[in-house]
Amino acid sequence: MYVGIGILGATVMPHNLYLHSAIVNTRGYRKTPEGKREAIKFATWDSSIALTLAFFINASILILAAAAFHYAGRTNVAEIQDAYKLLSPMLGAGAASILFAVALLASGQNSTLTGTLTGQIVMEGFVNIKLKPWVRRLVTRLIAIIPTVIVVLLYGEKGTGSLLIFSQVVLSMQLSFAVVPLMLFVTDRRKMGEFTVNPFWKWVGWFITALIIGLNVFLLEQIFFPPAGSRQDQVRSALSAPP
């Protein structure tokens, strides 16, 4: 559940909801009903294609892990560092580890770009803070890099894997705070007029929203109120037991 919630947060990413909404304004569409309808159509295709590709990439990673590691009896591979070292010898391809590293680098660059662009949109559009581009980049990068450096110094390479999954789970937890306002906005006829989503997609959207919230609540319940006999419950009992 913990890893699954992390995959959800890493695939959708709440800040991308703001980013995709803002990208519509960069298309230079005509301020007419026909122009707005065309802009919505292209934005829908843009988001659908991007999320579909992200889904298949994440699915491919899981399938690769199952085929290359679990099937071969390597059930102890749980960190990116282990996967990187074992990919080439197990697949018999010397370029496997290099391609894996390039994919990770591309993924990191993508997250950095979308995060920076979304930060600019939120700062300028919501809180009306305008900074010079180099100052904004410096501040946002320091906020992202400093906690990572601290974790690496304190816990080494093993800590980075846990931090990566934890950050993705946090993204999933924040999805509700982005999806609920979005659904309230697009289903409000006073704001959207003729572009209000139709009843079918309205209920589909609210169902997905409820599913996201339910999964996050279930995960929090498992963390703070673990069932009897679970690993978390054993750890909690050991910590609370008298010396």
Residue 192 within any structural domain of the chain: yes
Establish if 86 belongs to a structural domain: yes
pLDDT of residue 143: 76
Give the range of the structural domain holding residue 217, as residue numbers without chain letter: 2-227
- Residue scoring higher pLDDT (82 or 51): 51
240 within domain boundaries: no
At residue 239, the pLDDT reads: 45
* Whole-number CA gyration radius for the chain: 21
Residue 243 lies in a domain: no
Q: Does the residue 238 lie in any domain?
A: no
Please tell me the total count of domains within the chain.
1
List helix spans (H) across 30-156.
Answer: 33-65, 80-91, 96-125, 133-155
What is the Cα–Cα distance from 223 to 238, expressed in whole angstroms? 16
Residue 232 counted as domain residue: no
Cβ-Cβ contacts under 8 Å for 23 (sequence gap 6 or more): 43, 46
| % residues pLDDT > 70 (the chain) | 82
Average pLDDT over residues 114-140: 75
Whether 233 is covered by a domain: the verdict is no
Note the pLDDT tens digit of each residue in 187-205.
Answer: 999 988 888 888 999 999 9
Q: What is the arithmetic mean of pLDDT over 91-104?
A: 72
pLDDT-wise least confident of 64-68, 78-82, 124-128, 147-151: 78-82
Q: What is the percent of the chain with per-residue pLDDT over 90, rounded to a whole number?
A: 7
